[in-house]
Amino acid sequence: MNADQENGFLYKELGYKLVGLFFKIRNEYGPGHKEVVYQNLLEEALIANNIAYNREARIKIYSNDTGKVVGTYVPDFLMDDKIIVELKSSRYTTKTDEKQLYHYLRNSPYEVGYLVNFSTPQIYIKRIIYTNDRKLFLERRR
């Protein structure tokens, strides 16, 4: 079992802290700001709460066939080298938004991601899981 897995919940403690920060930001600042404003607010909150992160970290994408790098994705945040966070600020959350995070997870060594839209009528938070045991390119890299 993964050291960060408790009762089948990957990165439970970190995820709990992040969701709390998402709600705090939304409650204090409300909907409708530009995406970069929410990114900056989250960055401030991460620093204040001593949560390790990389903003716009470059994530290598690997081929399932060869295991070679075929591209790069740049999500908004990579938390503690464990969780991808993609922020949005639009009236609606689309399937394309969800697919973007899904593709980040499916094609990288990361297993957990959060899609957060601060500008929907109620804050939208979706946790997406894509476990490494389903990723062929990881087997080829070993």
Phi and psi (nearest 5°) for 126? Answer: -125, 125
Pairing of strands 83-88, 59-62: unpaired
Helix (H, G, I), strand (E, B) or coil at 5: strand
Q: What is the pLDDT of residues 89-119, one digit of tens each?
A: 999 999 999 999 999 998 889 999 999 999 9
119, 91 Cβ separation under 8 angstroms:
yes
136, 111 Cβ separation under 8 angstroms:
no
Q: Average pLDDT of each block of 10 consecutive residues along the chain (142 residues)?
A: 64 97 98 97 98 94 82 96 97 95 91 97 96 80 57
Look up residue 24 and give its amino acid. K
Instruction: State the pTM of this model.
Output: 0.90
